[in-house]
Amino acid sequence: MSLDIVIPATRRTVNQLLWSLSQGTACPDRVIVVTNEVECIESFTDKFPVDVISFSSRHHPIGQFDQALRRNIGIWDSTADYVMTLDDDQYAPRNLVTSALAEVKKRRIVWGHHRFIDFEAFGDGLLDLPPSRGRSRESHVNGEHLWMSCYAGLMVAERELLLEVGGYDMMFLCRGGNEDQNLGRRINHFLDRGDRIWVSEPPFAWHPEKARTHGNLKNNTCGVSSAWLEPSIINGVKFDKCSKPACTYRVFADEKERLFTDSVVIPYDPRTVSLKKERI
């Protein structure tokens, strides 16, 4: 069974994550780094190929809070049986891929977990530390949670399942968060599993206690002022959109309940983005 890992990257620390993946008891078949910001991606060709994808669009806003778009780009580019998504500020323990594949074969989709820890205090020793050494993101693991605990920073699923439900909803661009909770709820309802998901550990990833610095975000919006925003309706949902014709900025402006429906409001269409791929 093949596995691709998709990393939406805006921080140079993605190289630390790639190195930690290369030290695992098992490695992914491919890593897809989706970035317009990180220019120097390290090569790990003796362990796995790394495809670096840069992107542009005249249809979607790019820059701050575009993680849903980056993840979809990677998911659609993947050809593997399973896709894992990770965040670029994390560090993989040695058993990450092994444990994730074992769980996803049983569950079809796995919502993993992360542990906060001081990276500088442990260095490469993080590879083999037990999760109990870190601070838990959740109140408990290996148990049921409501779909609000769905976390895209460590998710692994059947790729065909992700495609079948439409991946991440593009309504979450320019909005900080909730795209993973939306996806988790839609998948659960699609699989007739109700509103409870299982938070697994393992797999888990290490997350730094201190925030890590982003690179300079490349964007295609105009630095929006509220004076330029005008109401817009997309597929029956309210958005605020920039009134400047060349600006792609749009942000959800409807009732909170509209964030969590079983249908995709703005579907991802790969024809709406232009990609440039380089194998490292």
pLDDT value at residue 34 = 98
Q: Label residue 3 by pLDDT band (50, 70, 90).
A: very high
pTM above 0.95, yes or no: yes
Using one digit for the tens of pLDDT, what is the confidence trace for 230-254?
999 999 999 999 999 889 999 999 9
Q: In the predicted model, what is the mean pLDDT of residues 261-279?
A: 97
pLDDT value at residue 213 = 85
Q: In the predicted model, what is the mean pLDDT of residues 255-259?
A: 94
Q: Residue 208: is the preceding peptide bond cis (ω within 30°)?
A: no
Closest CA to 15 of 124, 98, 117, 89: 89
Res 205 pLDDT > 90: yes
Closest CA to 7 of 99, 74, 97, 61: 74
Using one digit for the tens of pLDDT, what is the confidence trace for 76-101?
999 999 999 999 999 999 999 999 99
Res 227 pLDDT > 90: no
Res 225 pLDDT > 90: no
Q: Label residue 215 by pLDDT band (50, 70, 90).
A: confident
* CA dist., res. 87 & res. 143, Å (int): 23
Closest CA to 170 of 102, 70, 80: 70
Give 96: exposed, middle or buried? Use CB within 10 Å, 0-12, 13-18, 19+. buried
Q: Are 102 and 200 in contact (CB under 8 A)?
A: no
Counting residues of the chain whose pLDDT is more than 70, the rounded percentage is 100
* CA dist., res. 254 & res. 232, Å (int): 10
Q: Are 34 and 6 in contact (CB under 8 A)?
A: yes
* CA dist., res. 116 & res. 136, Å (int): 6
Using one digit for the tens of pLDDT, what is the confidence trace for 18-62?
999 999 999 999 999 999 999 999 999 999 999 999 999 999 999
In the three-class reduction of DSSP (H, G, I as helix; E, B as strand; rest coil), residue 170 is classed as: helix
CA dihedral 146, 149, 155, 156 (to 10 degrees): -10
User: Average pLDDT of the chain?
Assistant: 96
pLDDT value at residue 224 = 80
Res 211 pLDDT > 90: no
Q: What DSSP designation does 78 have? A: -
* CA dist., res. 87 & res. 7, Å (int): 6
Beta carbons within 10 angstroms of residue 234's beta carbon? 15
- Number of H helices and E strands in the chain, helices first, is 6, 13
The structural domains of the chain, ordered by start, are 3-219+260-279 (3.90.550.10)
Using one digit for the tens of pLDDT, what is the confidence trace for 181-199?
999 999 999 999 999 999 9
Q: Label residue 223 by pLDDT band (50, 70, 90).
A: confident
pLDDT value at residue 140 = 95
Q: Residue 202: is the preceding peptide bond cis (ω within 30°)?
A: yes
Using one digit for the tens of pLDDT, what is the confidence trace for 120-163?
999 999 999 999 999 999 999 999 999 999 999 999 999 999 99
For 91, 119, 156, 257, the CA distances from 138, given in Å and listed in that order, are 18, 20, 18, 24
Q: What is the phi/psi pair of residue 210, to 5°?
A: -100, 140
What would the two tokens of residue 162 be?
């992700």
DSSP string for 83-125:
EEEE-TT-B--TTHHHHHHHHHHHHSEEEEEEEEE-HHHHGGG
